[in-house]
Amino acid sequence: MIDQALISITDIGRKYVIGTETIHALKSVSLQINKGEFVALMGPSGSGKSTLMNILGCLDTPTRGEYYLNNIRVSEMSEDDLADVRNKEIGFVFQTFNLLPRSTSLDNVALPLVYSGVNKTNRLARAQEALENVGLGNRVHHKPNELSGGQRQRVAVARALINNPSIILADEPTGNLDTKTSVEIMGLLEEIHSKGNTIVLVTHEEDIAQHAHRIVRMRDGLIENDYRNDNVKSVSPRLEALRDEERRNSENL
């Protein structure tokens, strides 16, 4: 089963000891995600979805259980080894963008390649191409404070893709964006998924989760439901309508 799954976790548990109290954030979670899937991870506050996201992203280690990512057993790795896996296997997109404020878009996107040992000429060329692929070829020398929220998130997406990771882990990627910009970012994620990329989307927004092909709902440290979404909502028609409206507005100026 492990050979068929990009992500395979079995009986994962995570507890935290705070003073005299023990909190079981995850009780017993087993989950498999195959290459090319688009999965939404949902749940109310305290459900364990953030803890599971941190474990999937190798930002935390489980108290018990097994986790294989792309056939690599990561559940008992050292911090240094986990950092290496994060850089090579996982592309992160965060709600708060997590961009270096004093660095240009180009340097932000190229950063993971620094840790991979790629020389400067090659990493800047790859970062340029990644930014062009998300529609920001004309913003490569802009710093985050010179970009809109949507543009900053596009920079974050380009950075997530730069190392050709096994999985894109998107944590509330539209949480700080207005409706129009959220549509644009979900359209970008749809496009990335259509090219064969695996995406795990963490969200509390029902309408955002409906863009995923599979929905995993959590409650009280357990998986409550895990089902295929047979009514996937595509943003493509809405995105085209927004672009048509922008073109009409430009023509009327």
Q: How many domains does the chain have?
A: 1
Q: Residue 178 pLDDT > 90, yes or no?
A: no
Query: pLDDT at position 2, please?
Result: 46
- Please name which of 248, 134, 132 lies closest in space to residue 188, comparing C-alpha atoms: 134
Q: Report residue 244 as tokens.
A: 């048509």
Mean pLDDT to the nearest integer, 169-191: 89
Query: pLDDT at position 1, please?
Result: 41
Tens of pLDDT, residues 154-175: 999 999 999 999 999 999 999 8
Q: Which amino acid is at 112?
A: P
Is this model's pTM higher than 0.85 or not?
Answer: yes
Query: pLDDT at position 183, please?
Result: 87
What DSSP state is assigned to residue 203? -
Q: Residue 91 pLDDT > 80, yes or no?
A: yes
Domain with 213, as residue range(s), is 2-252
> In sequence order, what DSSP letters do the residues of 20-82 get, joined into one string?
TEEEEEEEEEEEEE-TT-EEEEE--TTSSHHHHHHHHTTSS--SEEEEEETTEE-TT--HHHH
Tens of pLDDT, residues 57-67: 999 999 999 99
Q: Residue 109 pLDDT > 60, yes or no?
A: yes
How confident is residue 247, by pLDDT bands cut at 50, 70 and 90?
Answer: low
Q: Residue 245 pLDDT > 80, yes or no?
A: no
Half-sphere exposure of 136 (CA within 13 A, CB side): 31
Alpha helices (H) in the chain, listed in sequence order: 49-56, 79-89, 105-115, 120-133, 149-161, 179-194, 206-209, 236-252
Question: The domain spanning residue 71 has which CATH number?
Answer: 3.40.50.300
How confident is residue 180, by pLDDT bands cut at 50, 70 and 90?
Answer: confident
For strand 90-94 and strand 167-171, is the pairing parallel, antiparallel, or unpaired? parallel
